[in-house]
């Protein structure tokens, strides 16, 4: 089954954090990385890099509104 250009997602240059360990293949998008940059798999050091990835839509899950209580002041 052949794919057309319309079916392929558009790839954008994306900043990532990549594990420095050659045997470890872990990486994470910069926007999802924790403040402490250690590998989530091997706990080794990580460094910044770039990768062409599809865009991610960050949808914020809204908290359900609490019903107003007649006892709230």
Residue 17 CB coordination number (10 Å) = 21
| End-to-end CA separation in angstroms for the chain | 64
**pTM (2 decimals)?**
0.63
Length of the chain: 73
Range 42-67 average pLDDT: 81
What is the pLDDT averaged over residues 50-56?
92
Q: Rounded CA gap, 55 and 73, in Å?
A: 45
Which residue would you say has higher pLDDT here, 31 or 63?
31
Q: How far apart are CA 10 and CA 39, in angstroms?
A: 28
């Amino acid at each position: 089954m052949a794919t057309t250009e319309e079916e392929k997602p558009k790839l954008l240059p994306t900043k990532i954090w990549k594990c420095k360990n050659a045997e470890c293949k872990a990486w994470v998008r910069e926007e999802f990385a924790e403040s402490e940059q250690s590998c989530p798999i091997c706990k080794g050091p990580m460094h910044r890099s770039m990768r062409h990835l599809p865009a991610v839509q960050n949808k914020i899950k809204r908290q359900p509104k609490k019903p107003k209580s007649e006892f709230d002041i």
